[in-house]
Amino acid sequence: MFYKNAFLIVKLIVLLNTLRHSEAYGVTKHCYNPNGRLGRCMSLYECETILKIFVHQQSDAYEFARKSECANGQGTKPYVCCTADTGFTDRTEYRGHRVIFPNSEEDDIRYDANDQKLKQTDLFPKYPNCGHVAISNKIYGGEEAELTEFAWLANLEYKTPSGNLVVSLRVGDHYTQSYTDCNQFHCIDPFQRLGIEKYKVHENFQSISSDGIRNYNDIALIRTSRDIPFKDSIQPVCLPDVELLSPLKAGMSLTIAGWGHNGTVKYTNEKRKVDVPYVENHNCRLKVSDSQLCAGGVYMKDSCTGDSGGALMRISPNGWIIEGIVSYGRGCGLEQPAVYTRVRKYIQWIHDNVTP
């Protein structure tokens, strides 16, 4: 059996065609603030929200600021866990439930009281039910991920090396060559193997478009034969439309994760991650469309063979959001960006093609 990457959006798997990229461009230090919200550990003087507490002498928020202190940040000390929060808030704890691609009538799906039509937006997870960050938080030049980190990644299983006959997928995987995944502190539940009910390749996919764009509309959906059992090691990622985000900017750090070539072997046994910078399309050095994006270009930090279909992710104050899907590149770990399918451009297509 052979494996390929894919990323999991609940019961939805977004696949891809070719690929290559690499590893850590400098893995960002993430943290949780006193409200349990995901943030970045940084200098107090760079965190506008907490700095305002002191500048405006908001004495009622001093305790929140004090408890926001974190370790291993960058820049001038002290370090704080920076988010949009400026004080303590009530926080609803995450409760897992089944949401996408339901297969039976008892699934947790809501209907309109007036016309009984399923609300399409209810099929997709929203924060805090997606994009979870592992508490601790080579691809080519990367580092090993935590056991439950990037729990939306899945391995496709297929019968031929060319990958033209996908037969099943594995979710909840970390070490692909072992049944049980453990580190020095604990073990996680064994992976789950799921059958495939059907799949949908983008109807306008072209390996080479008429104007020379490679892997045009390089995206597909897979529907599994049964519901995916959510747990710590199996979680959905957030789609870009889950919340309003600022546009991607040149140099912004994005993260790739997967089981691809790490510079030594074609497919690594363990899930790995690497941070790469976002590159604006006009600086990509490859011909791309506005439905594609580029990232990388740092020597020895890239996606690579075996990473095809993997996720290019962005960290937000609420968790991980999928921005791209590994499509293709030239070589591995070279000083040239790789190309990804820009997920934001396909949100409507995803909504139109996912049904209960």
Q: Which of 218, 275, 302, 307 is catalytic?
A: 218
Residue 308 annotated as catalytic = yes
The Cα–Cα gap between 293 and 284 comes to: 8
What is the DSSP-derived secondary structure letter of residue 303? B
Q: For residue 189, give every residue at least 6 positions away whose Cβ sits within 8 Å of its Cβ, in sequence order, or none.
A: 172, 231, 232, 233
The yes-or-no answer on residue 108 being catalytic is: no
Q: State how far Cα 290 lies from the chain centre.
A: 20
Nearest alpha carbon to residue 237 among 173, 136, 323: 323
State in Å, rounded, how far the first CA of the chain is from the last one: 30
- For 101, which DSSP code? S
Are 142 and 298 in contact, with CB atoms under 8 Å apart?
Answer: no
Name residues whose C-beta falls within 8 Å of residue 349's C-beta, 6 or more positions apart in sequence: 202, 219
The SS3 of residue 236 is coil
Q: Nearest Cα to 149, choosing from 102, 181, 111?
A: 181
| Element holding 347 (H helix, E strand) | helix 347-353
Interior/surface letters 115-133, b for 16+ CB within 10 angstroms, e for the rest:
eeeeeeebbbbbbbbbbbb
Q: Looking at 68, 303, 308, 316, which residue is catalytic? A: 308
- Kindly compute the dihedral angle of the four CA atoms of residues 246, 249, 255, 261, in this order, to the nearest 10 degrees: 150
Residues catalogued as catalytic: 218, 308
